[in-house]
Structure 1
Amino acid sequence: MKAVTVPSPGGLERLELTDRAEPGSPGPGEIRVRIRASSLNFHDYGVVSGMIPAADGRIPMSDGAGDVEAVGEGVDEFAPGDAVVSTFFPGWLDGPARVGDFRTTPGDGVDGYACEWVVRPATWFTHAPRGYSHAEAATLTTAGLTAWRALVVDAGLKAGDTILTLGTGGVSIFALQFAKAMGARVIATSSSDEKIARLQQLGADHTINYRAEPEWGRRVKTLTDGRGVDHVIEVGGPGTLPQSIEAVRIGGHISLIGVLTGRGGEIPTAKLMAKQARLQGLIVGSRTHQQEMIRGIEASGLRPIIDSTFSLEEIADAFRHEEAGRHFGKICLGW
């Protein structure tokens, strides 16, 4: 079978399309899945670029969607022909967060889904949403579930709330879509007027060009009559967190999801304390969270925003497209 591997050290120019043995029949509790699609995340970029060290020859990509071809003894949740999508933390089935690293994450600590077939425990997958393409389903494992957990599980989003999203990456776009589907108001930022127009088309109630307004936290306060937003989807990290703290309401909630601006920096802790806001870090979610999200997606009819799709052989070009930062929503691989 075809599989992409990451040599050690990594690098986009060093990604290899290899021919590996096709996996055999599933054992007890396992399913065999024909993988059809994946989607790109910043964490995957860290692995393939060498920023995140991985074992020599690792198969990358944490997101995988495809069709069940066979089930092992004792598997009754899935049947051949079912469309499925992978989970980010295969061992975190339910309950509170219990994983603090990526040692069990496909595409990092173990082989991922940049390949044609896998045989894995059935609990490593959930059903895909009814009517979704494989590429659409593949956007959910990391980006979709991160946004869902941040807003619904951790923040308790409800109709009438106001949220702030930063940028137009996969998590931020999903957050906008989930929030609008649940009756919330959305303030969205971008540095591109073209992307701002698309955010408005998706239902953003207010938009801010953060290059034109570097003190965008104050602008958010103005847009909310001085109150601030209930929830912030914070994907930037130390470079944007001070403005997010300015923008959040007293007693509000900030989901710290990304570190696109770096891993350390000065944070206005006194203002955070005065705001009495909750700053919560998170990494994706559990299998149960994913199943709940998919039920929500099926009830609302939400469809992900896919910027572009590349073939498996074009994986390096897909990541170069991500590097350029011109995408809006998710970049996918399909084969």
Structure 2
Amino acid sequence: MADDKYNTWMLKGSGSTENLQYVQQTSAKLGPDEVRVVMHAASLNYRDLVIAKGSLPMTQATPNTVPGSDGAGVVHSVGANVVELRPGDKVLPHMVQGVSDDFLPRMDAISGGLGQAVNGTLCEQGVYPAESIVRMPDNMNFAQAATLGCSGLTAWNALMGLRDRAVQAGDYVLVQGTGGVSIAALQFAKAAGATVVATTGKGANVARLTALGAAHVINYKTDADWGVTARKLTPEGRGFDHIVDVGGDATLGQSFAAIRTDGVVSLVGVLGTGANKVDAMTALWSVCVVRGVLLGSKNMFRDMVAFCEKHNVQPALDDETYSLADAQRAYQRLEKQQHFSKVVIKIQ
């Protein structure tokens, strides 16, 4: 395969998704500690969109880098030093390379990760360090598994990353919206036996959220005090044990209104732009734990895979799927927020 040609997307610059170019490459020589993976599917994340736009210094991509934060594929060949992986293994790459199994990425590590500083997953084949590869769940197809590496792992870390505070049966969990992290958190929490309340701004999503296990759904566009409303749905109005906050300043005030004493608010996103800043001292008045979450470790990734197999978690996908050659349309769907959960690109 080293002499084979393959198709791939490349980021030629920043500022727009129009800087994504579909090109043909020649297979690179495999290093002794690397594996070559034939990619079968990838999924898009908000991170991929902001990298293509490059609107902030931390979102600038190295020119001529293959985009894509996560994906799923099959090992084609392994380097001379690789013993833990074999051709035919179904695998997922972790976004951050060259780190220990328990390393929790900060923004600098993520900015040096797949699809930004090093080649990502929007390609027919990719070469990755063997140490960054995790086994794919055996209960999922490639499209489902391709959702786990970025948003799935972030949701897992938010709910299960604090081992002594991991979500368990009987807990109440609040998730926000219908993006990839929120839907993954809903599915993980439900599988763990928690009661989940979800929010949405679209009435059409209520039935889908209910079908995935949400006990209650609140429309945040018609209920400005949705945090207070949500709190009333918990036993004796005590508040939520866990809240996965994806909106930052746009949602954090309501999250503080909904959290219980000593509950955990996980900050995982900044989707709410133009909102008034929320004073960090609000956490003091709410007497809660506030935790910033960026991705998760490789060991968390492995724990998530085992959990998905044990509980047969089947990640929810968007109604629209795209071929590799049509990936720009997938970016457009994500940018217009027309999607539900994860936009998947089928490669093989």
Q: Give the TM-score taking structure 1 as reference length.
A: 0.95
Report the AA paired with residue 255 of structure 2: S
1:124 maps to which residue? Answer: 132
Q: Which deviates further from its counterpart, 52-61 or 121-130? A: 52-61
1:15 maps to which residue? Answer: 20
Equivalent residue runs for 1:55-74 within 5 Å: 55-74=62-81
Equivalent residue runs for 1:215-294 within 5 Å: 215-224=225-234, 225-262=236-273, 265-294=276-305
Would the aligned equivalents of 2:324 and 2:345 in 1 still touch at CA under 8 Å?
yes
1:168 aligns with 2:178: yes
Would the aligned equivalents of 1:208 and 1:216 in 2 still touch at CA under 8 Å?
yes
- The Cα shift of 1:91 comes to 2.8
Per-residue Cα deviation, 1:291-314 (whole angstroms, up to 9, x for no partner): 111001110111111113211111
Change (3 A) 1:264 1:191: closer
Give the Cα separation in 2 of the matches to 1:244 and 1:188.
12
**% same residue:** 38
- After superposition, the CA RMSD in angstroms is 1.6
2:3 maps to which residue? Answer: none
Give the secondary structure class of the aligned counterpart of 1:274: helix
Would the aligned equivalents of 1:89 and 1:285 in 2 still touch at CA under 8 Å?
no
Per-residue Cα deviation, 1:149-205 (whole angstroms, up to 9, x for no partner): 110123411111101000001111111111111110101000111101111111111
Find 1:319's aligned residue among 306, 331, 338: 331
1:106 maps to which residue? Answer: 114
Report the AA paired with residue 154 of structure 2: T
Give the Cα separation in 2 of the matches to 1:137 and 1:98.
21
1:31 maps to which residue? Answer: 35
Per-residue Cα deviation, 1:27-49 (whole angstroms, up to 9, x for no partner): 32221111121100000001112
Give the Cα separation in 2 of the matches to 1:55 and 1:104.
9
Gaps of 5+ in 2: 1-5
Give the Cα separation in 2 of the matches to 1:202 and 1:55.
38
Change (3 A) 1:195 1:179: same
Give the secondary structure class of the aligned counterpart of 1:279: strand
Report the AA paired with residue 3 of structure 1: T
Give the secondary structure class of the aligned counterpart of 2:37: strand
Give the Cα separation in 2 of the matches to 1:88 and 1:333.
17
Gaps of 5+ in 1: none
Q: Give the TM-score taking structure 2 as reference length.
A: 0.92
Report the AA paired with residue 122 of structure 1: A
Give the secondary structure class of the aligned counterpart of 1:31: strand
Report the AA paired with residue 143 of structure 2: A
Per-residue Cα deviation, 1:256-314 (whole angstroms, up to 9, x for no partner): 00000138842143432022111111111111111111001110111111113211111
Give the Cα separation in 2 of the matches to 1:14 and 1:118.
20
2:152 maps to which residue? Answer: 144
2:209 maps to which residue? Answer: 199
Would the aligned equivalents of 2:154 and 2:294 in 1 still touch at CA under 8 Å?
yes
2:52 maps to which residue? Answer: 48
Change (3 A) 1:96 1:252: farther
Would the aligned equivalents of 2:8 and 2:22 in 1 still touch at CA under 8 Å?
yes
